[in-house]
Amino acid sequence: MNDYTFSDYGIFKDAIEAIKTLNQKIVSENKAVSDSKRILSNESLFMGPVAIHCLEVASRVNDCLMNDTSKFDTMANYLQEVSSNYQAGDQAATKVLSLNSSDQLTSSSISLTGSTNQEQIYNYFTSQGLNQAAACGILANIKQESNFKTGDWGDNGTSYGICQWHASRLTELQNYCSSNNLDYNTLEGQLSFLTYELQTKYPDLYQTLQNVPNNADGAYQAAYQFTIRFERPADMEWRGEQRGYSAQDMLQSYGQQ
């Protein structure tokens, strides 16, 4: 049997970053073309046919650059989707082969420390590589969703757990825990599934959480982004703001300004 190795997701990341960099250059060049069009338009009355001809050429270049910008955006989005699907496939293979990736959070068999659910969630995420601000952003959302209760039901019995997984996502929580010998009613099972979701279904959000600054602004960013990209409640922009302020208060309680 051949040794199993994890896919190099960095290849996808580098390709996406290269496309975005090129796209930014095109946008910058397009601004220069637009400026030229403006100048030529102003001077066409004095320069006559020459300015008009140059203006037509600049307009065609402008159209081409706009079209290329759209295409590069499409390419970047496609690569991101492929990368996420690729990673999800490797995560599935990992379960079958009982392997762990060294550059990912361990999504099962987790050990929790602390006297309350809030402490255990905070300690878990900070021990797994997220800074205090990111952990507080997650905590602020969980507090509003369930007040840290693993057995909390909501939405007329269709949402459950610390993150109030709803409908099909609740079924996914149950199936994931069943496949990994975990109890979906426990904090261990729910944190394991939350980690799995962040890694495989919300990699952009996960990257955001990994990179927020460890200060009040970072706590606000983490909470707001987690609200609008993961929880997605009604009035999510307003709720994101409120949870952002709550995350800042939590961060201060943990000794960070």
Q: Which residue has the tokens 């929580």?
A: 173
Q: Report residue 138: phi and psi, to 5°.
A: -70, -45
CB–CB of 56/33 below 8 Å? Answer: no
Helix ranges, 98-167 (H): 117-127, 132-146
Tens digits of pLDDT across the chain (257 residues): 344 344 444 555 666 667 667 766 676 666 676 666 566 666 555 556 666 666 677 667 666 666 665 566 666 666 666 665 555 555 554 444 334 444 445 455 688 999 999 999 999 999 999 999 999 999 999 999 999 999 999 999 999 999 999 999 999 999 999 999 999 999 999 999 999 999 999 999 999 999 999 999 999 999 999 999 999 999 999 999 999 999 999 999 998 75
CB–CB of 247/137 below 8 Å? Answer: yes
Residue environment code for 196-232, b if the CB has 16+ CB neighbours within 10 A, otherwise e:
bbbbbebbebbebbeebebbbebbbbbbbbbbbebbe
Q: Which helix (H) or strand (E) holds 226?
A: helix 216-226
Overall residue count recorded for the chain in this entry: 257
Q: Quick check: pTM over 0.75?
A: no
Please count the CA atoms within 13 angstroms of the CA of 66 that sit on its side-chain side.
8
Distance (Å) of CA 176 to CA 85, 166, 197, 198: 17, 15, 10, 14
Q: Which residue has the tokens 């338009």?
A: 41
